[in-house]
């Protein structure tokens, strides 16, 4: 087996996290729309709030799922806290996406004469904002965690090759012969 490349897992989780968070944000918005129709919500601010919360919960779950590592799954209180935190940040990202989408739509309206083909609808900006913000936070967390405590730090601490420490039996310490000599006496 070749040397470990820990940055590949961080890149792969980030690349998988954005589409997963986007799909779950769209599903959360669809559920929020269905609930708005079912309960007869007619006020636009309440519908927008429901859409942003639905997108936030979906995207927060998507970003949290891709942040998990198979070899180190934390306890359920930690999972719950991370999920709630990412969902709250994602709902804020949905609001930011809605605000930026409003400005982009206004610019498109100003340049348009007659019937305007918009690049994205406002719901798309909500889903993009909700998916982008928690994935950026998850990426920063993954890079920081892998750099300080994870595989990046372990790879930096391991000696490369036999060197002066002696040969290794594959456990990664590089000083197995000295340890074996010390334990036999």
CA distances from 50 to 33, 34, 46, 166 (A): 8, 10, 6, 63
Confidence band for 1, pLDDT divided at 50, 70 and 90: very low
86: alpha, beta or left, given left = phi > 0 and alpha = psi -120 to 50? alpha
Q: Are 104 and 54 in contact (CB under 8 A)?
A: no
Confidence band for 55, pLDDT divided at 50, 70 and 90: very high
Helices (H), 40-184: 44-67, 76-111, 122-148, 151-157, 176-184
Q: Are 127 and 55 in contact (CB under 8 A)?
A: yes
Nearest C-alpha neighbor of 7 from the set 170, 162, 150: 150
Domain edges within the chain: 6-152
Higher pLDDT, 8 or 181: 8
């Amino acid at each position: 087996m070749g040397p470990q490349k820990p940055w590949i897992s961080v890149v792969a989780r980030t690349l998988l996290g954005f589409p997963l968070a986007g799909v779950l944000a769209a599903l959360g918005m669809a559920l929020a729309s269905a609930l708005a129709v079912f309960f007869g919500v007619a006020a636009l601010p309440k519908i927008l709030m429901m859409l942003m919360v639905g997108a936030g919960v979906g995207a927060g779950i998507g970003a949290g799922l891709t942040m998990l590592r198979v070899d180190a799954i934390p306890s359920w209180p930690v999972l719950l806290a991370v999920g709630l935190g990412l969902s709250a940040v994602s709902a804020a990202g949905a609001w930011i996406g809605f605000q930026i989408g409003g400005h982009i739509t206004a610019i498109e309206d100003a340049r348009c004469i007659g019937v305007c083909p918009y690049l994205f609808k406002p719901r798309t900006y909500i889903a993009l904002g909700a998916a982008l913000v928690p994935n950026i936070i998850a990426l920063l967390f993954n890079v920081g965690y892998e750099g300080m405590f994870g595989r990046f730090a372990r790879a930096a601490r391991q000696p490369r090759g036999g060197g002066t420490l002696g040969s290794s039996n594959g456990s990664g310490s590089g000083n197995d012969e000295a340890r074996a000599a010390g334990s036999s006496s």
